[in-house]
Structure 1
């Protein structure tokens, strides 16, 4: 109320952030296994956040901060494995900076979700904005107003566990997108996982270089890996006397032939994942033999999980035919593979641009997501006809034309085990 009285926020924004107490859901705590560290399983706390008392403020702040933060950090941030491989490829072959003595260093931050006290996080956000903004405002809000809203968001996050209500003293729920944005700002040059190269002297010198960073951030617990061979983003990276070699890394504690857990229409989700996994394989495997081994692993994974040979074959044909390279499925010529791989690198650059444009529509509230029940049939044809009809009837509409809004169609399975077997915790459990 004070922010509205002081005219720090507009009446419209005040009403947007105002909550309906009858619709608020108290967050609860549960745990999921984490196998990100080799040969170690730990339990990670997960706190629900949807429709909590701070949910609206958190969503608004993330929509405001994230685009600006991403723009500042984009040059030093990897989106995913293909992006990592492309930038590493440029470092080695375009910049010609890889030496026979070059060491790789990866740093994983273990307490990423609860780095520091709330006030330290708020101060870090304020300093970040002051250092990178031209004026004292980001969008309609001043830096001080953003800090005030962050104070409300961070200090009023509560949850219940075993019939007891607790207050979060560090960090915020990982299910809230703002948590990732705040941690990124706090660490700035650190990020959740870091990867860099070291050409100066040896491993001892590198450890000496890292020590002041650890002293500067005593609250940050990190796990470094240093050597000519490292693992990052589930990619095995090796410097063999100045020659770069990369391939997919499979953790021993995770089954090679298991498919990811999905929500919604499992067949459609696994169809999309197979294509993504094949693209990831060709981008991450520098050797043609490693790529074909990964391809065979994916084929076996789908066959052992009940998908038909026809399903697998059709997806593989589509993947290789995309660049008219059907022969690549059976040939092991490294030169042809390198050209095929470059085509997929270029493809991913275009996908990143499309993703950024889609995100811009979402940030402006111009993205419409629709679901429809789907069991089988010509899904692609239905999607195409839907967009044609949308364009036909709304091409001159002031807010619903293709230039003003984007529509995403997703499928939903009528008989989902997720719907049958999962159940939201009842508020009646709290005594």
Structure 2
């Protein structure tokens, strides 16, 4: 039975971490699949995604992840990692439209004498979650965990333990498509909340060159997962050069679409996408 083989593989990977003293016996029992019933692999289907600037593409979705073998581990890791990430990223990310409104209103009121010439730019990173490598996601997570603002062990887990447990989730995303079993060799399913969190952590590192320019020029910038909004007072060509450089950092399969406008309607268009 293929499912039993997958469960045995996951448990063997957890046992390796236990043997290395990265997780204790309590964690081993908590995350083990051997004592759990009703586990099954999710079924894959596709939803189309359209955009005015790019061709139609499809995004993978799953029937349910509730009974996936890695769901319990992913559900444990997501709030643990998010609590650490939120301390680092709060100034450059927004949670929803209300959060965006609050931050932008504060910025806009401070620009009462210098609003002339301000332009508004939005960007969308396409196909991030289906094409980003597990190695890049894990490197981004490691960079976060060694940040000087994050100190020590977290819930009795070392940085290495958190990275290794996250790796088990990424490496064991199995699913069924047309009666065949497949695995995510790269990328990760959006149904898993941990996936969006890892993507956001990766993009937090990716956006560093842009943040340097934002801080130098005292402009406004926020990001919501794989889309972002910023104000710009310099030439459009200069901003395009920055994003061309950012594009080079990403894998070739991942595309950035940048739009620059001078009218406030762009703020509304960005906000309604949340």
TM above 0.5: yes
Preserved CA contact (<8 Å) 1:203 1:227: no
Preserved CA contact (<8 Å) 1:130 1:136: no
Q: 1:36 to 1:97 in 2, by over 3 A?
A: farther
Give matches, 1:158-307, under 5 Å. Answer: 158-188=174-204, 189=207, 191-200=225-234, 202-219=235-252, 220-229=254-263, 235-236=268-269
Q: 1:41 to 1:97 in 2, by over 3 A?
A: farther
2:98 and 2:113 mapped to 1: Cα distance? 20
The answer to whether 1:141 aligns with 2:157 is yes
Q: Report the 3-state secondary structure (helix = DSSP H, G, I; strand = E; otherwise coil) of the residue aligned with 1:229.
A: coil
Ranked by relative contact order (alpha carbons within 8 Å, sequence separation 6 or more), the top structure is: 2
Can you give the 5+ residue segments of structure 1 that lack an aligned partner in the other structure? 238-247, 251-279, 281-431
Q: Report the 3-state secondary structure (helix = DSSP H, G, I; strand = E; otherwise coil) of the residue aligned with 1:109.
A: strand
Structure 1 position 171, deviation (Å): 2.0
Can you give the 5+ residue segments of structure 2 that lack an aligned partner in the other structure? 1-14, 208-222
207-216 or 126-135, which deviates more: 126-135
Residue 4 of structure 2 corresponds to which residue in structure 1?
none
Q: 1:216 to 1:51 in 2, by over 3 A?
A: same
Name the TM-score, length of structure 1 as normaliser.
0.51
Q: Which has the larger radius of gyration?
A: 1
1:134 and 1:71 mapped to 2: Cα distance? 8
**1:30 counterpart (45, 55, 77):** 45
Counting matched residue pairs gives 239
Give matches, 1:14-413, under 5 Å. Answer: 14-19=28-33, 20=35, 22-35=37-50, 42-47=57-62, 48-96=64-112, 98-188=114-204, 189=207, 191-200=225-234, 202-219=235-252, 220-229=254-263, 235-236=268-269
Structure 1 position 81, deviation (Å): 1.7
**RMSD between aligned residues:** 2.7
Q: 1:222 to 1:103 in 2, by over 3 A?
A: same
Residue 5 of structure 1 corresponds to which residue in structure 2?
19
Q: 1:81 to 1:98 in 2, by over 3 A?
A: farther
1:222 and 1:125 mapped to 2: Cα distance? 22
Structure 1 position 35, deviation (Å): 4.7
Structure 1 position 108, deviation (Å): 0.6
Preserved CA contact (<8 Å) 1:105 1:230: no
Give matches, 1:409-424, under 5 Å. Answer: none
Structure 1 position 98, deviation (Å): 4.8
Q: 1:217 to 1:35 in 2, by over 3 A?
A: closer
Structure 1 position 43, deviation (Å): 3.2
